[in-house]
Structures are given as C-alpha cells and as structure tokens.
Structure 1
Amino acid sequence: MNSLTHRFAVVCSLAALAIAALPACSPADGAVPAPSASASASSAAEARYVAMARGRVDVPGGLLRVPSPQRGLIQRWAVEPGDAVRKGQVLAQIDAREARLALEQAQAEQAHAAAQLDASRARLPALRTRMERLQQAQKAGAGSGQAGDDARAAVIDAEQEQAVQRTALAIVRQRVAQASQALSAATIHAPVAGRVVKRTAEVGEFVDAYAVLLNLLPEGPRIVRADLNESLVTRVKPGMRAEVVSVAEGSAVHGAHVLSIGEVFGPPGAPDTSGGETIVDARVVECLLQLDDPELRVGQRVLVRFLPSQPAK
C-alpha cells in the first residue's frame, strides 16, 4: 500500500507542474499578433497605385443603333449577328414594291411634262414670227390692227403656258428624286465598319420608320469609362498609365492610358452593389482611358488602377 501511495503522489505532482506551465506557452496579455503574409502583400500592392476606380469597357460613341429609314416589311437580311461588315455593305432589304411603283409613276409624269414643254417651245418661234410679220404689215398700212393684237396675245399666252409647264416639270422632277431616294432607302447599308451585335426584327416583320433594326459595334479602340471618386480627382492626370483588370476574372492585366477627365460631377454610372452596401450621395467624375489592346469586351465591368506618373528624364 505504501508503494502505491507513493506512485500516486508522483503522478499528481507531474500533472500539477504541466498545468502550471501552460500560461507560459500562451501569448502575453496585450500582445499584437504579427500581420499575415497576405495582408502585407495586399497593402504593398495598394501602395503602388495613386488611385483606383471601377468602370466599364466601351467604344467611342457607344454601340451604333442602325434604324430603318422607312416603314415596311423586312424582305431579307444580308448579315447575321457576329458578322464583320464594311462601311456601305448591305445589311437588310425592306420591301420596295411600293417605292418602285411610285418611282415609275413619277418618271412617267416627268416624261409627259417634258413632252408638253418641248411642244410649247416648238410652237413659240412660229407665233413670234407671225406676230412680227403682222406688226410690220400694220406699220405699212397693209394689215389690220386686230390681227396684230391677236398675234401678240397668242405669243403672250404661249410664253405663260411655257412658264407654267417649266414649273410643273420642276415639281415632277422633285417627285422623281424623292421616289428614287425612297427606293434607295429600302436597302439598308452599314454606316461604318464594325461587327453586328444584335438584330431586332426578323424577315416578314413590319417595322416603322426610324425603328432600330440592329445594333452595330463600330471598329476602333476600346475605351474605359471609369467613375473616379471626387476625393481622387486631383491624383489623376491625362497621359497617366493605368492597369485594367476584369471584375469577373481579375487575373489578366491590360494596359491603358488616361485620355481625359470630365468637368462635371454626378452619381456613379454603374454603382457596385455586389457587396450589399450602397454609398449614399456619392459623387464621381467620368475618366476616359484608352486600352492598349481590344481583348476586353464592350460592357465588361473592370477595375482601373492608376499608376504614378513617371518622372521626367
């Protein structure tokens, strides 16, 4: 029994020593833990930039909405979404049967008016000759005054009729020009070179005049419209370099340079509410940047990181 009692006492003593040593292994009261490696890297990365702003990719002038110059049925499409088009290339054809009939009718009226004017011009020299002959005979006492007056009246009537016919011919020519323009407008051409993004109607559908037929992405450099916070405006200058990364991907870095900074403050163009927070009464100014490459798509949300200006050498 004495041996067992002695062993139990030794075990209890060792356990007490282990419990007493535990506080020495824990951090001292009030000690600040060292920053993590990821937090340090993030702070160092932010220190490289003079400002950051959210934005969206665009093209100068934005997407081009191509309208229909006149109302009518879509007869055929010459392009599909995604097709690259040249300036002046045919995009679509509106049913032009009415416009063609109107042009043919106007051309027939023009030919009729021109024929009437030609006939009147052909009669006028003979009438003038007769009038002059009668006037000479009257002066010589061989003719009557009434015949001379009648000849002079006939010339005046012919001249007035010819003036009316010239006016009528000019009006008909205007109708021909309008009908020809309407016929030409039935064929929709690309106003600029670019790529077809979307068609808004199908073959056989009726469209009103000036209704949008398709959206066209013009060729040209990609730009970024960034919402620069009012507290950061003085840090950014035209010509500064910047890094642009996609908000969705965030891996690939695209170079850009600042084109201009707006003069008017306003609300953000595309506020970011993905985090569930809304900034009240935020004021930003639009900052335009031109991308070095066209890899990003129009409308894509991006983060712009402005780099410090390089010192002059």
Structure 2
Amino acid sequence: METKNPIKTYLPRIILFCVLAVGLYLGYTKYQYAQAHEDTDNAQVETYFVPVLPRMAGYVKAVNVKDYDVVKKGELILEIDSDEAKLALDEMEADLLQAQTDVENAKANISNLSMTIKSNEANLKANYLRKEKARKDADRDAALVSENAITRKQGDDSKSAYEVLSAQYDAGLADISATKSRMPILQAALHKSEATLAIKRVKIEQQKLKLTYSKVHAPSSGRIGKKSVEAGQFIQAGQPLMTIVQDSTYWVVANFKETQVSRLKIGGEAELKLDAYPNRILKGRIISISESTGAKTSLLPPDNASGNFVKVTQRVPVKIEILDLAQNKDILRAGLSLEVSVDVK
C-alpha cells in the first residue's frame, strides 16, 4: 500500500493558513490605521498668486521678463511708451506759466487800483480844504456886502466859487466810491486766477505721477507665471498682463468628506505625500477648517429646493501648514496633487 507524503498533505493547508494569517494581519493593521487616521486624496498645494496690472494705458515698449522667470519685488518687468504723456506734461507746464502770468496781472491791477484810490483821496482832501476856505470867504464876503463894504458882484463871485468847489468835492467822493467798488471785482479775479493756478499745478503733479506708471515693477517676489503681453501690444489700465507665483510660502488645502470632519481638530498633525514625489513624506499641521463646504462657495452653488434632490457627500476644505517647508521647497509647485493623512488619535 502506497504511503502518503505528509508534506503534500499539509503543505496546502499551511499555505492557506499563512495567507489567511497575513490577510488578517494586514486587515487588522489597516483597520487600526483607519481608526487613528483620516485620509483624502482630494488635496492640492496652494500659494499666493499676485497679478501684474498696469495703471496706465499705452503701447508696450519693452518686456523684461520671460515665462517662469524668477523676479524680486520692485524689479522692472515692463515699460510702456510715455512720449505722448511727456508732451502732455510740457503743454501743462506751459499752461502753468500762463496761469502764473494771469495771477501777476490780477495782483498788478489790484495794486494799481489801490494807488489810484490813494491819489483820489489825496486830491479829495485838497478839494475839501479849498472848499472850506471858499465857504469861509463866501460867509465873510456876504457879511461885507450887507455892510456895503464890498460890491454885490464880489459877494456873488465868492459864493459861486464856493459852490463850484463843493460840487467838485462831491464829484471826488463819487469817484472814490466808484473806484473802491471795483476792488471786490479785481480781488475775485485774483482768487479765480489763483484757483486756476492751483488746479494746473495739481494736474501737473498728476501727470508726473502718471508718467511713473509707465514703468511696471514687480509687486512681489516670486516666479513669473504665463505672461500674456508682448512688446508693441496696446494695453489698458487694469488689464492682467501676467501673474507672479509666490515661491516663498506654500500650504495645502485638503477637501475632506463631511463625515470625516468631526474627527479633525486644529493643530492635528498630518502626513503629506505628493503624487509627483511619492517617496518623500512631508509633515503638516491643520491650521484652519473652512466654515462652509466647497460647493457653497463655488460659482454656481447647488439649490436643494429645486425639486430634484440627490444627496451628495459634501467636501469641507481644510488648510494645512507644511512644517518642513524649507527642506522641501524645491519640489513644491502650486496645484500639485497629494494624499493627506491626519492623525486623529
């Protein structure tokens, strides 16, 4: 009778047992890990994007950067042709000289009128003295006529001379009043000229400031994104020309399911694994959790009152700080996808 080989008899059982043991071990390990961690692969690396916007319209004279160049804050990256603006400034400065001349003329008119008033007042004072003398002479001659000391003709001549001087004095008073009435008009003209001068000075300063806008400087340090401007192109004020990607700071925004959020806490530690570099594990820490789901802040948020409702698990954005940023900055790029595992023990 043939004897059975015990190895052949028990080997399949042993193999099956080992497979089941390994499976149970791996399953238990995964279960334990799932109990202590919350994972998601819906995450991206984020950073700040600074748009480059011109503050004046015109033709582009020169572009000093290329796509993906590294720039420093304040570096000249673009120049706009400013010849027309410079000619406009020259014209404004010529208008300013004309306005200054108008102010000087207005001041000269006021000064001339003041001297005329002083001269008329001096003449009026002399006429007043002559009138008073003539009045006294007329009164004395009238008394002499009554005593027949002088002829009536002499008395009439004295009276007539007094009346003429009185009329001249009254005319002088009227002339002075008329001359003084012109003073407010001339002062108003002076104020108007000074206001016009001030406006032209402000416009010149505005034009000088506008000329500084012909040179566009980098608003932030970083790396140029794709630019959409070339030399010779006409651009408008406020038109996006390019974007600077700040490469000094990065963070991660992970979108966890709403069923996972209850286990996440501020300060929770996280492991970050980039899809582009799966062999490098980064360390992170939760610094904030959004107060709304991603769908609510989208361009077209869902309206569950429309009648046809299908329940969809929502995602909540969680911001994660990269703790070892300095050591891994060389591999970080905005928009890279990654897997996030948060320790919730």
Q: Deviation of residue 172 (structure 1)?
A: 1.4
What is the aligned counterpart of 1:46 among 13, 29, 33? 33
Is the counterpart of residue 104 in structure 1 residue 90 in structure 2? yes
Out of 186, 191, 195, which is 1:158 matched to? 186
Matched, 1:114 2:100: yes
Partners of 2:271 and 2:341 within 8 A in 1 = yes
Taking the aligned partners of 1:41 and 1:185, their CA distance within structure 2 comes to 66
Within 5 Å, which residues of 2 pair with 1:17-56? 33-36=20-23, 39=26, 43=30, 46-47=33-34, 49-53=36-40, 54-56=42-44
Counterpart in the other structure of 2:145: none
| Separation in 2, partners of 1:38, 1:201 | 60
Deviation at 1:181, TM superposition (A): 2.4
How many residues are paired up? 282
Residues 237-281 of structure 1 deviation map (CA, whole Å, 9 limit, x = unaligned): 1222211111243221111111111111233999xxxxxxxx972
2:334 to 298, 307, 310: 298
Report the CA distance between 1:42 and its aligned residue.
6.7
1:230, CA displacement in angstroms? 1.0
1:51 aligned counterpart, secondary structure: strand
- 1:247-266 equivalence runs, <5 A: 247-266=275-294
Provide the residue aligned with 2:319 in structure 1.
288
Give the secondary-structure state (helix, strand or coil) at the position aligned to 2:254: strand
Identify, as 1 or 2, the structure richer in helix: 2
**5+ residue gaps in structure 2?**
129-168, 299-309
The residue that corresponds to 2:274 in the other structure is 246
Verify: 1:72 aligned to 2:58, yes or no: yes
Structure 1's 38 and 191: CA in aligned 2 closer, same or farther, altered over 3 A? Answer: farther
Deviation at 1:165, TM superposition (A): 0.6
The 2-side partners of 1:297 and 1:126 are apart by: 77
**Counterpart-to-counterpart distance in 1, 2:36 and 2:76:** 48
Q: Which amino acid aligns with 2:53?
A: P
Q: Is the 8 A contact 1:131 1:155 kept in 2?
A: no
Residue among 106, 110, 119 paired with 1:124: 110
Q: Matches of 2:97 and 2:25 in 1, distance apart? A: 86
Deviations 1:33-55 (A, max 9, x none): 44449945971783485212321
1:216 paired to 2:216: no
Partner letter of residue 213 of structure 2?
Answer: A
Whether the aligned pair in 1 keeps the contact of 2:72 and 2:220 (CA below 8 Å) is yes
Q: Which structure has the highest strand share of the two?
A: 1
**What is the DSSP-based 3-state SS (H/G/I as helix, E as strand, rest coil) of the residue aligned with 2:241?**
strand
CA–CA distance in structure 1, aligned partners of residues 105 and 208 of structure 2: 27
Q: Distance in 2 between matches of 1:246 and 1:268?
A: 27
RMSD between aligned residues: 3.4
Instruction: Answer 1 or 2: higher relative contact order, Cα 8 Å, separation at least 6.
Output: 2
User: Alignment partner for residue 196 of structure 1, among 221, 224, 227?
Assistant: 224
CA contact (8 A) 1:127 1:151 kept: yes
- The equivalent residue for 1:8 is none
Q: Given the superposition, is the C-alpha separation of residues 165 and 219 from structure 1 closer, same or farther in structure 2, using an over 3 Å criterion?
A: farther
**Contact 2:45–2:334, Cα closer than 8 Å, also in 1:** yes
Aligned partners of 1:73 and 1:207 also within 8 Å: yes
Q: Is the 8 A contact 1:58 1:222 kept in 2?
A: yes
Q: 1:186 aligns with which of 191, 199, 214?
A: 214
